[in-house]
Chain A
């Protein structure tokens, strides 16, 4: 197994899209903290294949990525922002919670709103002090309910996925909030024009047995 610096050098020397993909995959595989800056840089290249590999690698490294990524977000590159949001979503660290709450309803890029909405459903609540959890979950719920009204179908779809995961979390922590999700799902089933979203709502209701209790 080559050392991480050799793998980083290979990424920096890659001179074709295919080679970039291959070298980023190898670097991501190493899941080493020293690979973080290089993998974050790859999120800003316009190469979807390499970005997917970099996102996977960063999620695998996990928590140590979050502070670095929070302070190195490229606000002007919405492609990079969308990939970074996917990293936060995949890691689920609550220190990115404020960023995800903001992004889900106010980012101008629909890919960023989409990734943020999904990520809000998979926050690792156990990493937050117990006293802060109820308020934070309430905020996530309000934000996701708002996101179900987004003008873009894909953001509404992601909001349903986020709400389904949140409903699963709330089963143990705040079951009384689940009824708001159920009510929203039933209301949307009647007026959502996209058949794909209605199907996703039905799937979520079945998965979470939301009508059984």
Chain B
């Protein structure tokens, strides 16, 4: 999710001036001459949630594209098409995206895992679990590349979001992975799948880390899973109040959803913490 947002930001900066409509975006994606326009159209259709069946069909074609190739052998258009398909919510994309999980381009696999997380369809779970084969011993860095052999963070987050309880035994070892982002993704998913405090506590410890980026990411994770006991630790984290408020709102929403009364003792504690951060 986070990588995707960064990419989207870059894209908007580059093409800020360009105005598309549903029709021109689909037409731009279909043509084969201007690769930049295709790439941008794929992003645009996702960004503006164009749920038109013609948009989905064209994106599915773009998912098979062989023309747009990066110097490293990657497939930029396929990556953008996968991301967009995640946002459009059309289940026709599930099977093609699941096949993408075996594609040689790492970033296509990552985009596909993130898209499948959003499509909320359980048929991809076995394929996602397969990407964790070999456990953390195999989850090493690819020589000469800035990434591990698989997009573990995206895969594990997807399994957590999809409530894939059958994946628990495969995800658990990753809570010991030396790469912090992978470790925290595993803790987040394990908490979602088991509701065991020990995984929430791993995320709380991440709030005390040295890297602001990781602290922010742990704040978002705790808010997303609604680990109620994290309230005070969130309020005390060295990060922007706006981020802490979003995380605490996530806790409050979870507590409200679990209880009938709006003003349980836990809810009140969280609201008091929020008030102090405004």
Contact = CB atoms under 8 A, between A and B. Distances in A.
A30 interface: no
B242 A203 contact: no
A211 interface: no
Interface stretch (A3-11, A95-103, A108-116, A125-133): A108-116
B241 A111 contact: yes
A195 B245 CA distance: 14
B239 interface: yes
A81 interface: no
A154 interface: yes
Interface stretch (B9-17, B33-41, B134-142, B260-268): B260-268
A21 B267 CA distance: 31
Contacts of B274: 157, 200
Interface string A44-68: 0000110000000000000000000
Contacts of B188: none
| Interface magnitude class on chain A | 20 to 34
Nearest to B272: A203
A161 B275 contact: yes
A34 to B, nearest CB: 27
A77 B171 CA distance: 43
A48 B278 contact: no
Contact of B256 (A49, A161, A195): A195
A110 B241 CA distance: 12
Contacts of B253: 195-196
B256 A199 contact: yes
A154 B245 contact: yes
Contacts, number: 53
Interface residues of B, number: 20
A118 B256 CA distance: 23
A158 B239 CA distance: 19
B56 to A, nearest CB: 28
Contacts of A199: 252, 256, 262-263, 267, 271
Nearest to A197: B249
A41 interface: no
Contacts of B267: 199, 203
A131 B113 CA distance: 65
Nearest to B245: A154
A56 B203 CA distance: 27
Interface string A181-206: 00000000000000110111011001
B240 A115 contact: no
Nearest to B249: A196
B256 A203 contact: no
Contacts of B271: 199-200, 203
Interface in B219-266: 238-242, 245-246, 249, 252-253, 256-257, 262-263
Contacts of B278: 114-115, 117-118, 154, 157-158, 161
Contacts of A195: 252-253, 256-257
A153 B268 CA distance: 18
A151 to B, nearest CB: 15
A199 B262 CA distance: 5
Nearest to A154: B245
Contact of B242 (A49, A111, A161, A196): A111
Nearest to A206: B263
Q: Which of A48, A111, A158 has the most CB of B within 10 A?
A: A48
A111 B257 CA distance: 27
Contact of A154 (B239, B242, B256, B268): B242
Nearest to A118: B278
A153 B242 CA distance: 11
Interface in A10-27: 21
A59 to B, nearest CB: 12
B263 A203 contact: yes
B249 A153 contact: yes
B238 A196 contact: no
A204 to B, nearest CB: 9
The list of the 3 closest CB pairs from A to B, nearest first, reads: A49-B238, A118-B278, A202-B262
Interface of A: 21, 48-49, 110-111, 114-115, 117-118, 153-154, 157-158, 161, 195-196, 198-200, 202-203, 206
29 contacts: A21-B238, A48-B239, A48-B240, A111-B240, A111-B242, A114-B278, A115-B278, A117-B278, A118-B275, A118-B278, A154-B242, A154-B245, A154-B246, A157-B274, A158-B278, A195-B252, A195-B253, A195-B256, A196-B253, A196-B256, A198-B262, A199-B252, A199-B256, A199-B262, A199-B263, A199-B271, A202-B263, A203-B262, A203-B263
